[in-house]
Amino acid sequence: MLKLSTVGIAIITAVSMLSLAAPAQAQPLTARLDALFKPHFKPTEPGVTVIVVKNGKTLLRKAYGAADIAAKTPLTPGTVLRLGSITKQFTAVAILMLADEGKLALNDPITRFFPDYPTGGKVITIEHLLTHTSGVVSYTGKPDYEARMTQNLTVAQMIDGFKNEPLEFEPGTKFHYSNSGYFLLGAIIENVSGLTYPRFMEQRIFTPLGMKDTAYEGFERSGAPRAKGYTAHGESFAPAAPLSMSQPYAAGSLVSTVGDLAKWDAAIGAGKLIRPASWKLAFTPYKLNPEKSTGYGYGWGLRTFQGAPAIDHDGGINGFSSYALRLPRQKIFVAVLANRDSGGIEVEELAKRAAGLAMGKPYSTPKASTAMVH
């Protein structure tokens, strides 16, 4: 079942602490990073691709586990995997590009683009969609979603499937993660630009940034190897449930490699694609009122990590889970992409441990998670 959110809850086992033990501190950082990941992935099971970058230097770019269990094909650092909800940050930047060009405004009501959208007399803005504060029901949470997820539907058909649901709350008054909001943003990109969402992303973002292995699934431009996705069943793994990629769309349809994600991070750090003021907006937590922050900007979660500002997002989709973390002050970027959607080690946990090592401030799992992004 598609969940464009964190999937699988697991804690790093005691063996991972070996990488943090006193004798290991004398090891080169790359060796310690490798020792963090290696114990958790067998070559005969699904695994992860990893990249850790600091100050523009790649500390670790490696893969662990199998891309195809039956064929015994190993994952490589250049293997393409599904991103799930990491897609949302690309959708958000596309919207900001169009805003910078004067083609839309963030306070535009969605009825400007969908005149017949039933809002119940409420005003839902583009910013509400970007920040998960619209009140629009998330289609992936509907009872019939699992039964419908293999259907190839048009953008309009997908929107028809959730638009008549009553709003969950007054727009702008609550935070509730909604894949429907980002689906609508994809339709707005198409409406305003005259390009399909896959083509807009390719022409305006991926190609200019040299992200040759990143695409809307089904619109790939390179011959990079693809990983198969798996779901855990007890001690074994089975191919993940099928999914039509017309369903996740602008909320979770993209595929990429850790190398391309590092290019994306470098472009963000260099302030490319959009104006400085727009980047600042993307990384400003939306506030429901002057005292209550959502901890979420435009397509990214915003928090602190080891006392430093952190920008992150996770993803979960049939057969895959993902997590990417930016530490702008330390100029650290970590991405971990897995080709399993359940079972095994949680990718967010591993990524945070890797970031802690890169910072020189080893990370320990808190007793209770305070993460806002799910």
Phi, psi at 260, each rounded to 5° = -65, -35
d(CA 61, CA 83): 17
Residue 156, CB-side half-sphere exposure with 13 Å CA sphere? 4
Sheet arrangement for strand 254-256: 81-82, 254-256, 215-216
| Interaxial angle between packed helices 179-193 and 87-100, expressed in degrees from 0 to 180 and rounded to the nearest 10 | 40
C-alpha torsion angle, residues 233, 86, 67, 229 (rounded to 10): 40
Q: What one-letter code names the amino acid at 205? A: I
pLDDT at 367: 59
Gyration radius of the chain over CA positions? 20
DSSP class per residue in 105-162: -TT-BGGGT-TT---TT---BHHHHHTT-S-PPPGGGSTTHHHHTT----HHHHHHTT
pLDDT at 365: 79
Q: Is the CB of residue 39 less than 8 Å from the CB of residue 47?
A: no
Q: Is the CB of residue 311 less than 8 Å from the CB of residue 300?
A: yes
Instruction: Put residue 130 in one of left, alpha, beta given phi > 0 → left and psi -120 to 50 → alpha.
Output: alpha
For residue 237, the surrounding DSSP H or E stretch is strand 236-239
Token pair belonging to 226: 């693809």
pLDDT at 103: 98
Q: Is the CB of residue 8 less than 8 Å from the CB of residue 24?
A: no
Q: Is the CB of residue 187 less than 8 Å from the CB of residue 114?
A: yes
Q: Is the CB of residue 212 less than 8 Å from the CB of residue 140?
A: no
pLDDT at 235: 86
d(CA 364, CA 341): 23
* Per-residue pLDDT tens listing for the chain (374 residues): 444 443 333 333 333 433 344 344 558 999 999 999 999 999 999 999 999 999 999 999 999 999 999 999 999 999 999 999 999 999 999 999 999 999 999 999 999 999 999 999 999 999 999 999 999 999 999 999 999 999 999 999 999 999 999 999 999 999 999 999 999 999 999 999 999 999 999 999 999 999 999 999 999 999 999 999 999 998 899 999 999 999 999 999 999 999 999 999 999 999 999 999 999 999 999 999 888 999 999 999 999 999 999 999 999 999 999 999 999 999 999 999 999 997 777 999 999 999 999 999 999 877 544 443 44
pLDDT at 364: 85
Residue 342, CB-side half-sphere exposure with 13 Å CA sphere? 15
Among all chains, which residue has been given the structure tokens 């020792």? 35
pLDDT at 215: 98
Which domains, ranges and CATH numbers included, belong to the chain? Answer: 14-359 (3.40.710.10)
Residue 155, CB-side half-sphere exposure with 13 Å CA sphere? 19
From residue 83, alpha-carbon distances to 128, 143, 205, 216, 227 in Å are 23, 24, 16, 10, 12
pLDDT at 62: 98
pLDDT at 26: 56
pLDDT at 28: 95
pTM reported for the whole predicted model: 0.91
